Amino acid sequence: MTALLVAFLVSTIAASTPLLLAATGELIVEKVGVLNLGVEGMMLAGAIAGFATANQTGITSLGVLAAMVAGIALSMLFAVVSLTLQANQTATGLALTIFGRGFSALVGAGYVGIPAPTLPKIHLPVLSDIPVLGPVIFGHDILVYLALAILAAVAWCIRSTHLGLILRAVGDSHDAAHALGYAVIPIRYAAVAFGGALAGLAGAYMSLAYTPLWAQDMTAGRGWVAVALVTFSAWRPFWLLIGAWFFGALMYLSLYVQALGVAVPSALLSAVPYIGTVVVLVLISRDARRIRLHRPAMLGRPFQARV
């Protein structure tokens, strides 16, 4: 029983990490009033860039770095079209996802079914050997802790720093922020780049730690779940964490129940996390007033300075 519980907790944390990374990035992007639906594409680009680099060089940290660079590069395509050229953000984000899927499949064609070095799990003397708590809290790879640290930093930044105030001002009223002298478009560029870096990191986690190999479309909609998570959390970092754990648990359980050989067909069990996303989204969105209250007011609106 204890072994089952440990396996459940460890796997849930692992499964929630890519969701948490990508959603934290998207949270900052949406906080400044930009809706980037290209998370799935940036994750895939990060996954293949990280995998290919780690495979070529044999150094996983270089792979992680390459994944972030790839995520930023793709996010800049989105930024130029949607921020500078003021195109519809929904459609531009879709273009980014389509492009990212094609790009990753093209680059990844030569990397299917071959190994790459994986991120090592940390092992702290004494601490990692404590029963239950050891593996659950002290037995993960570095990205798991990084994801939590970034989330904490983002929460602190939004809540109690001057920078956080500027970000929120840009997202809630870009005209007022502009009038105060803040450079709305450059700030949005920076936020989109941050979102790209974290989506790339999420992809690297997928291909270097979670399922350490490359397969076409390997993120399987996780980028979209991350976007849903941001709405689910009502743009609040703490609830982002709860949501990521919830979906992580759901993903693990749908795999675990399949492995148990329960009479329910595996294809239907695989659909459970997606059904869960719809159900949670419906439950959360029901309260339209609360969503309106927390939603960055300029979300999805293009900004053009009028001198």
Partner 1 sequence: MLKIEARGYESRFWRYASPVLALLLTGATSGLIFMAMGRPAGVTVYTFLIAPLLQQDGFEALAVKAAPLIMMGVGLSLAYRANVWNIGTDGQFTLGAICGGGIALAFPDAPAYLLFPAMVIAGTLGGMASGGLVAWLRIRFNANEILTSLMFAYITQYLLVYLVTGPWRDPQGFGFPQTALFSDTALAPRLIEDTNVHIGILLAPMIAIGLWFMLEKSLLGFQFRVLGQAPRAAKFAGFRENRLVWIAMLISGGLAGLAGLLEVSGTLGQLTTTLSPGYGFTAIIVAFLGRLNPLGVIPAGLLLALTYLGGDAAQINLGLPNAVTGIFQGILLFYLLGCDILLLNRFRWVPLKVV
Q: Taking contact as CB under 8 A, which single stretch among the options 79-87, 147-155, 172-180, 236-244 is the one that binds partner 1?
A: 79-87
Q: Which of 151, 176, 198 is nearest to 303 (CA)?
A: 176
H-helix segments, 109-141: 133-138
Interaction of residue 56 with partner 1, rule CB under 8 A: no
Interaction of residue 211 with partner 1, rule CB under 8 A: no
Interaction of residue 246 with partner 1, rule CB under 8 A: no
Q: Which of 100, 139, 203, 248 forms a contact with partner 1 (CB under 8 A)? A: 100
Q: What angle do CA 123, 129, 131 make, to 5 degrees?
A: 135
For partner 1, the closer CB: 162 or 286? 286
- Residues whose CB falls within 8 Å of the CB of residue 78, separated by 6 or more in sequence, listed in order: 36, 38, 92, 93, 95, 96, 192, 196
Q: How far apart are CA 285 and CA 175, in angstroms?
A: 28
Interaction of residue 153 with partner 1, rule CB under 8 A: no
- Asked whether 297 and 171 are in contact (CB, 8 A), the reply is yes
Q: Which of 132, 278, 293, 297 forms a contact with partner 1 (CB under 8 A)? A: 278
Q: Which of 47, 68, 77, 169 forms a contact with partner 1 (CB under 8 A)? A: 77
Q: Is 265 exposed, middle or buried (0-12, 13-18, 19+ CB in 10 A)?
A: exposed
**Cα torsion 242, 248, 251, 256: sign:** negative
Site map 104..143 versus partner 1, x via CB under 8 A: xxx--x----------------------------------
* C-alpha separations of 193 from 13, 39, 70, 187, 269 in Å: 26, 12, 10, 10, 36
Interaction of residue 90 with partner 1, rule CB under 8 A: yes
For partner 1, the closer CB: 10 or 225? 225
User: From the CA atom positions of the chain, what is the Rg in Å?
Assistant: 19
Q: Taking contact as CB under 8 A, which single stretch among the options 19-27, 65-73, 101-109, 169-177 is the one that binds partner 1?
A: 101-109
Q: Which of 14, 231, 241, 298 forms a contact with partner 1 (CB under 8 A)? A: 231
Q: How far apart are CA 181 and CA 280, in angstroms?
A: 40
Q: How far apart are CA 238 and CA 86, in angstroms?
A: 32
Q: Taking contact as CB under 8 A, which single stretch among the options 53-61, 166-174, 207-215, 285-293 is the one that binds partner 1?
A: 285-293
Give how many residues touch partner 1 by CB under 8 A.
52
Interaction of residue 64 with partner 1, rule CB under 8 A: no
User: Where does this chain bind partner 1 (CB under 8 A)?
Assistant: 37, 41, 77, 80-82, 84-88, 90-92, 94-106, 109, 216, 220-221, 224, 227-228, 231, 265, 267-268, 270-271, 274-275, 277-278, 281-283, 285-286, 288, 291, 304
